[in-house]
Amino acid sequence: MISVENLHKRFGEVRAVDGVSFNAQDGAVTGLLGPNGAGKTTTLRMLYTLMRPDQGDIIVDGINAVADPQGARFALGVLPDVSGLYPRLTAREHIEYFGQLQGIIGSELRTRTDQLLTMLDMTEIADRRVAGFSHGERTKTALARAIVHNPRNVLLDEPTNGLDVMSTRAVREIVRRLKNEGHTVLFSSHVMQEVSALCDTIVVIARGRIVASGSPDDLRRQTGHDDLEDAFVTLSGLQPDGAAEARSASVKASPS
Amino acid sequence: MRVGRLAQALVVCRKELKDWARDRRSIFTVLISSLLAPIIVGVMFTQLARQQRDVEDVTIPVVGGSNAPALMTWLRQQAGVTIVDGPAYPEEAVRTRQDDVVIVIADDFANDFTASRPAQVRIVSDSSNNDTRAKVQRIRALFQRYSTEIGSLRLIARGVSPVIASPLQLEDVEVSSAQQRAARLLGFIPLFIMISAFTGAMQISTDSTAGERERGSIEALLVNPAPRGAIATGKWIAGSLTGMLSVVVSGALLFALFQYIPLEDLGIRFRLGTPELIGTLATVLPLCPLIVGIQIYVATFAKSFKEAQSYLSFLMMVQMIPGMMATMNQTAMRAAWLYYVPWIGQQSLLNDVLGNKPISPLTFVVVGVVNLALAVVAVRATAGLLVRERIIFGR
């Protein structure tokens, strides 16, 4: 479970994140939806403790991630925005390296690695060096190493960006599976379909602020659009005439 | 927690070494950097030894030798002298460097000689050719000696003491000998060994820092709960090990090489035996962690592998300056405290080791501890960099 309270981050004159608050519950998928440059990645970076907020609190499973980033990291599994691999290591070695860094060793590590490789349908490429991997295979490797320690909270920054259909499906499968196992899953996307297909709660972010949040149905109701994409466009203020409407519709709904 | 940190550092270290060992470029770097010193030293010594032998075993091309059979016989009796027939056009042959020197005996040599007139012997040489100067001088001296001997005999035959004809006694003392040049060359060995430490470690120092940033793998790595200190330490240990490997290979090759270099031919009392090898390693190996500590700190500022390499090349030149100064001007670098200054200290220690001066083991220990302490400072500073958002996200 992750609670974010009044998060602020500015880069020079730019207020990248300007008072963001939301909750991501256990056993639910929360989607951070917004156009490019809205502040999704900056928000996530603060959540996964590599960026320090100027103001605000982040509580991960009861641990204050701002005050104790080290402690919060144990409870987090992260697929960052840029998730580079080591070209000379195999997929299996990537998973094992991160497992060892998390303190998992011996047969436990082997079992967990095999389990992840099977789950992501990677057994055939497990012992190949990642240098020749496709984009999908890379993302799956990065995802596997991110959740090797079976973290309670999983943060994914645009996990399906640029993936083909099969890889997208594999990622969605993992997300659903994590949710069913009771994990907190928070992921960002700028693709409406992606979010609506997976999320229990959608948090719409634009220009560093939360403009709406709630279930997909809530959002439809708030905006008066049946189509989620229209709702998204209205909410994120992408159309000038919809901007005022979006602001007024900004309701902080807690997820059901 | 302490043990946990060390375990995590070793996990990072193992991964970096595995990654390194699979990179062809890194193996190449270590090979080149450790081969550099032995090759340069080997080639130059062999060259010097050959020049020295050239002087001792001299082959003299002579034109018109039949004009002076007695002189030829005398020359053949001298140690290391071989007489061969000279070329048809002596001056042309020397100018084109076909021959280093050619002796031309004049046709009326026999007539002049028997009549006790100065008989002409021409020495054709090229004074602009430095390599042959020693040889020419030796040949000139040979003829000078023959001339003096015959002159003495003639004086004695006339009842005059030959000493009267030698008012001066000249003695040459050559300071720029092959020995001197060889000794100067030996002074560069410490520098070569330290360069191999530097270049050997460079691959991991750049790949595990700037490389990690360039590939975009640093974010994922730092999301791990492993403390930054443990991560930096792991990379530092891995880098230090490769630097040390490079030094050991380089030292061992030099050691092997010196079993074959004919130093005795040069008249040099220099030995690179087991004690010298151990002394060299005891001096340079503790320097490796410091070199790598600084390399990793500097390379972390770089956004890409190439950028890091240019930083480190510059760093190497900066670090080499005191070493160069110590090599060039050994007397100025004798102050006792300089032993504890990294790089200069190693240079002085190595000079002592190779010069067979007695060194207290305590000096090695203190120098090692000073280096290690400074290295730890560098690693801590690197760990501090791994918290900066500009470093983690700046691409």
Strand, helix or coil for residue B15? helix
Which residue of chain B is at minimal alpha-carbon distance from A47?
A: B223
Spell out the residues 6+ positions from residue A30 whose beta carbon is closer than 8 angstroms to its own.
A22, A23, A24, A184, A185, A186, A187, A199, A200, A201, A202, A203, A255
Amino acid at site B13: C
Instruction: From B124, B144, B174, give the residue that closes a domain.
Output: B174
**What does the pLDDT profile of chain A (256 residues) look like in tens digits?**
999 999 999 998 899 999 999 999 999 999 999 888 889 999 999 999 999 999 999 999 999 999 999 999 999 999 998 889 999 999 999 999 999 999 998 999 999 999 999 999 999 999 999 999 999 999 999 999 999 999 999 999 999 888 888 889 889 999 999 999 999 999 998 888 788 888 999 999 988 999 888 888 888 888 777 777 777 777 777 665 444 444 444 443 334 3
Report strand pairing: A55-60 vs A63-64: antiparallel
Contact A86 B215 (CB under 8 A): yes
Same domain, B295 and B376: yes
Judging contacts by C-beta atoms under 8 Å, the chain A residues touching residue B18 are 88-89, 93
Range of the domain at B71: 57-174
Same domain, B384 and B304: yes
Same domain, B104 and B195: no
Would you call B385 an interface residue with chain A, using a CB distance cutoff of 8 Å? no
Contact A89 B15 (CB under 8 A): yes
Would you call B216 an interface residue with chain A, using a CB distance cutoff of 8 Å? yes
Q: Which two tokens stand for residue B47?
A: 């060259």
Q: Which two tokens stand for residue A235?
A: 């909410």
Same domain, B99 and B167: yes
Whole-model pTM: value is 0.80
- Please name the residue ranges forming H helices in A26-164: 40-47, 69-74, 91-101, 106-119, 135-146
Instruction: From B117, B142, B174, give the residue that closes a domain.
Output: B174
Same domain, B90 and B204: no
What are B288-308's pLDDT values in tens digits? 999 999 999 999 999 998 999
Same domain, B208 and B170: no
Same domain, B263 and B369: yes
The tally of domains found in chain B comes to 2
- C-alpha distance from B389 to closest chain A C-alpha (Å): 6
Same domain, B269 and B374: yes
Same domain, B149 and B9: no
Same domain, B116 and B199: no
Judging contacts by C-beta atoms under 8 Å, the chain B residues touching residue A103 are 4, 7-8
Nearest neighbour of A88 by CB, restricted to B23, B218, B392: B23
Contact A81 B219 (CB under 8 A): yes
Which residue of chain A is at minimal alpha-carbon distance from B216?
A: A84
Contact A82 B216 (CB under 8 A): yes
Instruction: From B174, B199, B227, give the residue that closes a domain.
Output: B174
Same domain, B138 and B119: yes
Nearest neighbour of B220 by CB, restricted to A74, A93, A146: A146
Cα distance between residue B38 and residue B147, in whole Å: 46
What DSSP string runs through B46-94?
HHHHHHHHHHHSEEEEEESGGG-HHHHHHHHHSTTEEEEEPPSSHHHHH
Nearest neighbour of B19 by CB, restricted to A86, A98, A145: A86
What CATH number does the domain containing B136 carry? 3.40.1710
Same domain, B246 and B315: yes
